[in-house]
Structure 1
Amino acid sequence: MKLKNYILVCLLSFAGYTAFAQYGAQKRADNLFNKFSFVNASELYHDLIDKEYNVDYATRQLADSYAFLRNPDSAVVYYKKAVQQDNVPIEYYYNYAQALRGVEDYKGYRLWMRNFKKAGGRINDVKLSKDSDFISSIFNAKQQYFLTDVNFNSKYSDFGAYEHDGKIYFASSRNEGVSSKHIYGWNKEPFLDIYTTANRTDSIVDHKSRLKGDVNTIYHEGPLTITKDGKTIYFSRNDFNKKTLGKDNEGITNLKIYKASLLDDQWTNIEELPFNSNNYSTAHPALNADGTKLYFASDMPGSIGGTDIFFVDINSNGTFAEPKNAGNIINTDKNERFPFINSEGSLFFASDGHQGLGLLDIFGTVTDKDNNIVNVINLGVPVNSSKDDFSFFMSDDGLSGFFASNRNGGVGSDDIYAYDRIPQLKIEGTVTDENNNPIENVVVELLDNDGNKIAYLETDDEGQYKINIDRDTDYKLNTKKDGFIDNIKSVTSKGIARSITSISANFVLNPKKEELLPDAELYAIYFDFNKYNIRRDSTVELDRIVDLMMNTYPNMVIKIESHTDSRGTASYNNVLSQERANATYKYLIEHGVNPDRITEYKGYGEQKLANECDGTISCTEDEHQLNRRTQFIVVRMK
């Protein structure tokens, strides 16, 4: 007996560990998805579906991943499953339609666009993609980015915001407090310098906030990128070094990329990078996560258009390989500028050559499993506008960042805008006993509104749990542990503000008490074929149960389980059995039983047959009758 108990505990612990591992896998998949790493995300979503963990959510995310990977054939398969889900967000009708268009199923496309409109969907007037290209329209089916306030913009030009180690670095032509003012003849504004601020809500950022050291000069500086250790920066500057302004053969001063080191809180030891030239510009440096590649914009020989995105490998000894053009999926015959690489290696850039909303638009890139760039995505509104939008930055978690724009309504000529993305929502809480002591290894089941189990996990040694959920959805949470009475409650994520990342659901479990069950047994009642009304012969037993609960055992708590025989489809029998449970519950309540004393009334269809009549053998009507029943289970005797 002890061995059996030990094995059972081990199995439960392993099940809890597995569920927790799947929760971690979903969190990792969502992080990859947020950072445009759709290949790796799709692999994890496949694993979650195979392991039956939060399948509806994983299916929708997988469909989107395939869409962004420009794989409409696979996207159609999973969008088809998504639109069959209960309470699916209506943008998936739209996404399914676009994917059908991508596989040239125009009849299906028109049908699901009608379904989308009937469900209340509205079509964005801005067309981001050609008829043969569904990816941008799917990405922009719902708003991905939400703008938040930035208080440190000036009446001049501000752009290139870059966040590192709690500080925001940016380029600005503000000159408040500067005794000697230098004006750039091109736009009659002061020359750009690099500034820092502690947070986006700072309203006063003046000359005292300029980057300390030798980076800023009397000419243009910015934007920059910073190594992970925070000790080295790469930045753009006019061709000005050692107090000498360089010019090409036509007398034009180009941009160059420089490197600086942090020594005693000062940026110094300025070095010009070896691939610079007086005859073309290199600018807008951007490092990848591990600092082995530097991306930049340039009109150097080998460019496809005006300015292209290039990259150069940084060797382990700090030297540089030969620059390479990033290719014609990214670069066009016009201008690509302001590259940025997020923590998962996805490239973002500004372009006026790809199809967009205005002048410069911001685009993201999608890579295949071999890390080759296969596609670009217009980030849509509100990041892009009818004006210039550029200098994109994304935080490590992919949920916030900055960009710049000269759109209408700004403070200066170019302004910095901050954005947030809708984060994953989770339910979290603590399970305690009646004395407020945490209970570990409690099984917490996440159920849909119909009581179907979506996922489960176990509480940790502090009685805590957390699990990812969809927004705008109703759920139930059920907690159970041997020796305690189950506790179930309804929770909803409907109406939750997008800034909120978690909702709480705490539980108190009461111990089961050893009490004698009633001497009198609670007998089943039976139903006619294909009916759920209470038969006259069943009222005798129901009235007896009412009397037992109201007079003999006033603290007895029960649950109701209803069933069907095996004839008919499984889905129909599920509905029929639930109607029988509803009718039974209604009868007891109408005859005086307190609803609080019936913890559950649920139909099980043909899942729990009382005999072998499962459709594979011939059975009499009397044998089928034994399965058309409602049973009463005593939960507790307080």
Structure 2
Amino acid sequence: MNGYNNPSNFSFYQDGDTIQVFFAATVFQNKIPNRDIFQGKIINNDLTDIAPITKINTDNFEAYPMISKDGRLLVFVSDRAGGIGGTDLYLSIKKEKGDWSEPINFGDKINTPVNEISPFLDDLDNLYFSSNGFDNKEDFNIIKSEYSDDYQWELARTLPTPINTDSDEITPFIHNNQIYYASNRAGGCGGFDLYANELCGKVFLTGQVFDSQNKLPLQGVLNLYDNSGKLISENQIGDNGKFSMNLNPNSSYTLEYYNTCVPLYTPRKSINTPCNEEEITQITLPIELRLESKEYEFQGVVPFFVSGYYKPNTPNELQNLRLLFANNILGIADSNKYIEYPDAKYDAYSETVQEGLNSLVATILEILRNSKSKCNIDVYEHIKISIQGFADERGFSDFAKYSGEDITDPILGKVIPRGTKMDNDLLGLLRGYFTYKFIETQLSKDNLYQANSYKIIWDISSGGVTTDEDELILKRKVKIIISTQ
């Protein structure tokens, strides 16, 4: 930090492998000292690329920079003209190109005619700061304003005792439901001492899961995830559908409910726990399971097909296709030269395609297994499986023809003779059909499917040329949608 006068008020933001650093330092204008805000980087333990933030700094006082956890919000203090009075809090927002927006005064929900200093943003962007303009008190107290949405904060309020006293409390810092701050209150070691208190009371979550049709309670599993997606706990729900759990205050969670009776539908609820000064805050959360048909979409893994070919790219079909080329059944006649010889790159793809189709077969069997449910809900009588095949926009020569065996399967509602002129609509239909054949063949090996196949309604169609993807290789796919009825 050589060359910078009295650097202080450091704030840090982890940006990949780089740590972004914000701080205030004294600058001299016509030999008069002033404070400006600077930004730098820590790379390999070295602080580099230090520069003043010109979008923020003025000829007035700027200090106490505070960067949000995600690096998009920068709060700071300034006594520039146009404020509410004294030193105010200002907000600057990072733009897409990385530069900072023009600072915005927080307004009179937060700022007062006297002084606001030392801002801090917690993980939920709630704003803490010190001010001597609240509650008709001349000493500095710690103030909180909760973040609402769209860069808006609620009306600020003074935190209660024992955090605040009749002395000064400044520089709040929040970590793991602890608030750390400095105070010159009586009973300390002298001057400003450091103190810590629990910030928020405990949060107790209760609720019930029920179906929307009969309003009956449902059992199942309720998974709790933190804001990074990490699974915190699995909670079994009994026959009464009720659940309860202790949560950390001032945190973000996601609840995911799973019921084996309706495996296609796993409702999720997001919840932000409050930070209240009460000893315990109770939250009641109903989770409603709606029984309308829900769809499961399986996009497949691309390339799901070899270029020009219509059978899914599984290891077995890949081997069969190469045998057709080796025996000169494909690749010689003008009628089938549109089919590409599958080189080695398709081998890795084929394993993933096989895994995806196996997973789909397992899902269908699970739905069949639960079609007669032991739960207190009405479940589906039929399962509709729609398979739609797609092609890329490359066309075919006038000689191109379908080179497989005649297809007379009533599932298509039409006959496709060998030698039918090939186009993208036909290729999409063939891809849908042969994907159906693969899935149905796998299902037929299971006794459960043999006993319940009458419940399946198949719908095979062509999507023609897809415009969903940019690359040609990504357009050779099927879309499979399972809906319960």
More helix by proportion, 1 or 2?
A: 1
Normalising by the smaller structure, the TM-score range is 0.3 to 0.5
Q: TM-score, normalised by structure 1?
A: 0.31
Q: TM-score, normalised by structure 2?
A: 0.40
